[in-house]
Amino acid sequence: MPTLAIQAKGLTKWFGEGSAKTTALRDVHLDTSFGEMVYIVGPSGSGKTTLLSVLSGILKPNSGSVSVEGVDIWNLTADQLADFRLHKIGFVFQDFHLFPRLNTAENVAIPLILRKNDWDESIHEASKYLEIVGLKGREHLPPVKLSGGEQQRVAIARAMIGQPDILIMDEPTASLDGDTGQSILKFVHDKILNSNRCIVVVTHDNRIYEFATRILNMEDGRLTGTEERAA
Amino acid sequence: MKGILKLAYKLLVNDRAKFTALLVGITFAVFLMMFVTSMFMGVLNHSSSTVINIGASIWVMDPAVQTIANTIGMPDYVLDAVRSMRGVKYAVPFYSGGALVKLPDGTYQAVTVIGLDDTSLFGRPELIQGKIEDIYGENAFIVVRDAEFSKLENPHIGSELELNDHRGVIVGIASVSTSGLFGIPTLYTTYERAIQYIPNPRYTISYVLVEPKSPADTQQIKQQVAALGYLALTKDEFMRRAAKFYTYQTGMGTNILIMTVISFIVGLSISAQTFYTFILENLERFGALKAIGTRSLELVGMILFQAAFTALTGYGLGVGLCTVLIFLARQRLPSYAAMLTYTNLLLAFVMVLIITAISSYVGIRRVLQIEPFDIFRG
């Protein structure tokens, strides 16, 4: 029986008040296990990103709970939660959010630097991860000198360098062409997903569905269906 | 924290255009502040040049005197009375006044004439040519070689001049530590000759210079002089009194204050605006850092470090630039009235700290407001 990575119960989240009130999540229940690559898909405005934010400890729900590896993350203090994210969760953002004034290796090393690791050791480790994602020799280039796909790989290396148990990917192919997107997700599936890691991907790019182990459909703030896949 | 600060440093310095703009803003502001206040301090210092050069411990004067330049004559009995006071080691008369010198080409030049006590020559300058005893010679004057020396057509020993229709002879050339403020040459002679050459009102003693038996006697001498209806000030007190006069009674202080405030506003505007733009451009990345797991306090530390690093670098450059400029000015004008003091260094430093605090406060507020969720939401 696979171990539970994330367990969400009764998540509700709304924004605004009165007539401006918008409900983004409505009583969402969700379990993900290690070894899974779970996709959350659905139309724009269905609450995918909100759910991802709540699951990763970034946005507090109005009600419900999120347990990551048995820790009720929304009972942690702000600093504890920040530490939890730093050590347990890796993020790949839609727009990568790489620092243009830092070189590639420095960008990748950020999570280790935030963990107060030695600078030079962090850069050395970053070089190893850049090699893993196929960017050996690009350590000293600024991100703007890289293609979109390469930047995404840098973002993945940054997310992975701290060896997080949970990897959160928000629209990872949105800024990439079809082939590049596929190769990136294939790389994530083949090289990063393992039995000790859970990957949650928000996307509406059906060209990458083939890498999912499970696809959760969202509509109007609710999980409306689950599709198990043998990726 | 060291790695995080290095990260902050790289984010700041690698954005060369913004970092340069920040440095230019702060350097310029510090330079202006330093330069204006240095000139002010220099002017104040030069305004008390005679007090510094004479070096008397206590100066007795009419209570209405504000600066060394506006003397009010005191009757001779004041000198006698002071000499008989408890705690006085010795007291001598001192004359300071203005006169007109007719130059060989027929033009006139205003001069300051200082009359030293005939017996002791207390307060005599250091001679670079001639002998001090020659001051007792007929019509003898000693001229100070300073920036104004050439206005007397570079006299030498033996040069003659006409002072208030009296013949004068240069018997020595002296140097003093501080030049005067008003751009006129200085002549030294004996007290008796000074009051003989220069038309005077009823009372002739400008100041009584006093040396106490011990520093502890200063207070009781001041009290005894006050009982006589006059004012006794130590050297430092007299300089402060003159500084206060120039600062508050002449408008000079207000002008300096206005210039300093303008420098501050210019520096603040440039640095706060540029720093805010820098923060805005990196706002999403700060949000990403927050999402990854940076604590708010660490982000505050990064921004404070960036602001402080820029401010201190700009401060150093501003002070350095000011120092170089004053140095260069002194090469051309030895008596250039500008001086760097700990006070104006401190003043500029405090202003830089305020600029840093305001600039970083604006940035910190913005960064703390950004929610990592906004990064996901795009």
Domains of chain A in sequence order: 4-228 (3.40.50.300)
**pLDDT tier at A1, thresholds 50, 70, 90:** low
Q: For chain B, what percentages of helix, strand and coil (3-state, to nearest 5) are there?
A: 55, 20, 25
Residue A185 has pLDDT above 80, yes or no: yes
The pLDDT tens digits for B128-174 are: 999 999 999 989 999 998 878 888 888 999 998 888 888 999 999 99
A94–B288 C-beta distance less than 8 A: no
Question: Cβ of A101 under 8 Å from any chain B Cβ?
Answer: yes
How high is the pLDDT of residue B254? 85
User: Phi, psi at residue B248, to the nearest 5°?
Assistant: -105, -25
From chain B, pick out residues whose CB is under 8 angstroms from the CB of A54.
none
- Go through B169-182 and write b for each residue having 16 or more CB atoms within 10 A of its CB, e for each that does not: bbbbbbebebbbbe
How high is the pLDDT of residue A168? 93
Of A89, A93, A118, the CB nearest to B288: A93
Residue A55 has pLDDT above 80, yes or no: yes
| Mean of all residue pLDDT scores within chain B | 88
A101–B291 C-beta distance less than 8 A: no
Distances in Å between the Cα of B283 and the Cα atoms of B10, B17, B314 are 16, 18, 24
Distance (Å, whole) CA B361 – CA B353 = 12
Distance (Å, whole) CA B12 – CA B302 = 10
Distance (Å, whole) CA B68 – CA B90 = 21
| A 15-74 near B (Cβ less than 8 A) | 49-50, 52-53, 56, 58-59
How high is the pLDDT of residue B236? 92
Of B4, B15, B297, the CB nearest to A114: B4
Strands, E assignment, chain B: 58-61, 88-102, 108-116, 126-130, 140-144, 160-163, 166-175, 186-190, 207-212, 231-234
The pLDDT tens digits for A97-148 are: 899 989 999 999 999 999 999 999 999 999 999 998 888 899 999 999 999 8
Query: Judging by beta carbons within 10 Å of its beta carbon (0-12, 13-18, 19+), is residue A134 exposed, middle or buried?
Result: middle
A114–B11 C-beta distance less than 8 A: no
Residue B296 has pLDDT above 80, yes or no: yes
Distance (Å, whole) CA A142 – CA A144 = 5
| Contact partners, residue B236, CB within 8 Å, separation at least 6 | none
From chain A, pick out residues whose CB is under 8 angstroms from the CB of B282.
99
The pLDDT tens digits for B32-89 are: 888 888 888 888 888 788 888 888 999 999 999 998 878 899 999 999 999 999 999 9
Distance (Å, whole) CA B362 – CA B355 = 11
How high is the pLDDT of residue B360? 87
- Count CB pairs under 8 A between chains A and B: 93
Distance (Å, whole) CA B375 – CA B287 = 6
How high is the pLDDT of residue B192? 92
**CA dihedral over B234, B235, B240, B241, signed as positive or negative:** positive
Which chain B residue's Cα is nearest to A44?
B377
A79–B10 C-beta distance less than 8 A: no
pLDDT average, residue stretch B274-287: 86
- Looking up tokens 């690791």 gives A117
Evaluate whether B111 touches B101 at the Cβ level (below 8 Å): yes
Question: Cβ of A86 under 8 Å from any chain B Cβ?
Answer: yes
**pLDDT tier at B116, thresholds 50, 70, 90:** very high
Question: Cβ of A82 under 8 Å from any chain B Cβ?
Answer: yes
Mutation choice for A interface testing from B292, B298, B299 by most A CBs within 10 A: B292
The first and second tokens of residue B286, run together, are 């700060």
Q: What is the ipTM of this complex?
A: 0.87
Distance (Å, whole) CA B319 – CA B340 = 9
Cα–chain-centroid distance for residue B309? 29
B289–A110 C-beta distance less than 8 A: yes
Q: Of all residues in chain A, what percent carry a pLDDT higher than 90?
A: 64
- Closest C-alpha to B139, from B95, B99, B192: B192
How high is the pLDDT of residue B372? 83
> Smallest CA–CA separation between A226 and chain B, in Å?
23
CB count in 10 Å sphere of residue A12? 16
The first and second tokens of residue A49, run together, are 């990103």
Mutation choice for A interface testing from B373, B374, B377 by most A CBs within 10 A: B373
Residue B318 has pLDDT above 90, yes or no: yes
Residue B375 has pLDDT above 80, yes or no: no
**pLDDT tier at B224, thresholds 50, 70, 90:** very high
> Smallest CA–CA separation between A160 and chain B, in Å?
11
